[in-house]
Amino acid sequence: MMLISFFLQAKESWEARIPWLGQEVFAAVTWWNLLAFLSITMAAQLIHLGVHWVIRMKLRRDAVEVSAEPQHERDARKWFDLFLGAALAPLAVLVWVYGLYLAFTVLLLTLRELEETPLVLVVIDWVRDVGFFVILVWFLFRMIDALDVVLRQKANETGSRWDMILSPLVGRTLRLILPLVAIIVGLPLFPITAEAVIHFRTGLSVLFVVFISAILFQVVRALEEGILAGFPVDVADNLQARKLHTQVTVLKKVALVAISIFALASILMVFEPLRRFGTSILASAGIAGIIIGFAAQRSLGTLLAGFQIAITQPIRLDDVVIVENEWGRIEEITLTYVVVRIWDLRRLVLPIDYFITQPFQNWTRTSADILGSVFLHVDYTVPISEMRGAMDRILEHAPKWDKKVKVLQVTDALERTLQLRILVSAADAGSAWDLRCQVREEMIEFIRDNYPEALPRFRAELSSPGSNDSRGLLPGR
C-alpha cells in the first residue's frame, strides 16, 4: 500500500507539472503510466545486467588471480565464489520478477483506485508471490548443490572414509527435506478452501513420515557402508570381516524392517477412521488375538532365529558349508531365509531356522584354511619312500599348497591293495579342492610311468587238475 501511495503521489505531481502526461492512451492508461512502465522495465534490465557483470567479473578475477594468501583463505574465497555463482541465476530472475511486477503495477495504477479489485491485478499479485516462492526454492536447491560440492571436495582432501560417506548423505537429506518445507511455506499462497487445507495437512503429514523414513533408510545404509568399508572380505584372512559383515547385514535389515513398520503405523494413525479401527483391534484382543498369535508363531520364530544367527553366528557370509549333501558358500542371509551358492552356481534357498535346528558342516567356522585328503589304492609292491618323495616334489611346485601340512600314510591293508592317504593343507576350501585334484592326477602319473607294476593287480592261484598243490601266483587282468 505504501508503494501504491508513493506512485499515486508521483503521478499527481508530474501530471500537475506536465498536463499532457495525464492524457489517456488506452483503457485508463495515461502517458505517465506508460512512460513509468517503460522506465521501470529498462531499470530492471540495467539492474539485471549490472548484477551479472559484477558477479561474473569477480568470479573471473578470482579464477585468474594468483594470491599469496594462506591455503585456508584461498579455500574460503573459492567456496564463496562457488556459492555466489550458484546464486547468480536466481538473483537475476528475482530482479525481473519484481521489476515486471512494479512495471505492471504502475501501468495499471488507475485500476488500483477502484473499490473492487479487478481480476488482472489479483493475477499480478499472485504471480509475484508464486514467482518469489519458486525462486526461493530454486535458490535453496542451488545452495544445496554448492554445499554438496564443497563437502565432497573437503572429503576428498581429508581422505576419511566417514567423510566420503557422510558428505553425500548431507546433500541427499537436504534435498529430501527442502520440498516438504517448500510445500508448507508455499501453501498459504494458494487460495484454497478450509476443507482443502485439512486434506493438504493430512497429505503433508504423510509426506513428512515418508521423508523421515527415507532419511533414516539412507542413514542406516550409510552406517553400513562406513562400517563395512574398513573390513573387506576379498582378502586371505577374512574371518573377522565375515563376522562383521554378517552382523551388520542382518542388523541393517532388522533396522529397515523396524523403520518400515514404524512408518506404516504412523501413516495409518494420520487417518482418523484407520486409527479408530486399529484401536478397536488392540482393545478387542480375545479370540482374534489368540488366532493371530498362533498364526504368527512360526513367523516370530523365524525372526527370532534371524536374531540368533546374527548374535551367535553359526554361519557367516562367505562361509563354506555342506548342507543337504551340497557343497557351497553362504551368499545371502536375510531375516527369513539363507541363500547358499552351490559349487555349480545353483542356489540353495533354506529357511533361516534350518541352521538352528538341523546339523550341517561349516568348513570355515574358526578359520578358512582346511586339510584336503587324497586316497590311492596301490599294489603291495609299491615303494612307499619313493611315493613320499614324489609327493614332496609335486607340492613344491603347487601354488595352492600353503606349506603347512603334507603327510603320506598307509591307512589300511586290504585283501588285494594298500590304501594310501595323502593329507595336504590349503588356504581355503576352493584351493584345497584344486590341490587335491592336482596331487591325485600327478601321483597317478608318477606310478604309471615309474612303477606300473604297483598299480592295483588281481592275483589268482593256479593248480593242475585233480591236484591241490599250489603252482604259483600269476598276475592277471
Task: Please tell me the predicted confidence (pLDDT) of residue 242.
Answer: 74
Our CA angle for 91, 97, 98, nearest 5°, is: 95
Phi, psi for residue 471 in degrees, rounded to 5: -105, 0
User: Using CA atoms, how far apart are residues 422 and 372, in angstroms rounded to an integer?
Assistant: 8
pLDDT one-digit tens code per residue, 395-439: 998 888 988 889 999 999 988 889 999 999 888 777 888 899 999
Contacts of 117 (CB under 8 A, 6+ apart): 111
Residue 43, C-alpha cell as written in the block: 531499470
> What pLDDT does 212 receive?
84
pLDDT tens-digit map of 358-401: 888 887 777 667 788 899 999 888 899 999 999 999 999 888 89
- Closest by CA position to 104, among listed 190, 2, 7: 7
Report d(CA 137, CA 185) in Å as an integer.
10
Rounded to 5°, the CA angle 142-212-280 comes to 150
Q: Check residue 100 and give its pLDDT.
A: 78
Look up residue 472 and give its three cell numbers. Answer: 604259483
Q: Tell me the domain boundaries of the chain.
A: 2-191, 192-284, 370-460
- C-beta of residue 433 within 8 angstroms of C-beta of residue 363: no
The CATH class of the 370-460 domain is alpha beta
pLDDT of 394: 92
* Neighbour tally for 66: CB within 10 Å: 4
**Residue 301, C-alpha cell as written in the block:** 520364530
Residue keyed to cell 599250489: 470
Task: Return d(Cα 108, Cα 33) in angstroms, integer.
Answer: 7
End-to-end CA distance of the chain: 118
CB 372 within 8 A of CB 433: yes
Q: Which positions of the chain have pLDDT values less than 50?
A: 114-115, 278-292, 294-296, 470-477
Give me 166's grid cell: 557422510
Predicted pLDDT at 164: 72
Question: In angstroms, rounded to a whole number, what is the distance separating the alpha carbons of residues 377 and 412?
Answer: 10
pLDDT the model gives residue 286: 42
Report the candidate in 330, 344, 202 with the shortest Cα–Cα distance to residue 268.
Answer: 202
Q: Give the separation between CA 39 and CA 399, rounded to whole angstroms.
A: 87
Q: How many residues are recorded in the chain?
A: 477
DSSP state of 188: G
pTM: 0.47
Extract the C-alpha cell encoding 329. Answer: 558358500
What pLDDT, on a 0 to 100 scale, did the predictor assign at position 116? 53
pLDDT for the residue 60? 65
Distance of CA 402 to the CA centre of its chain: 37
Q: Which residues pair with 406 in a beta bridge?
A: 424
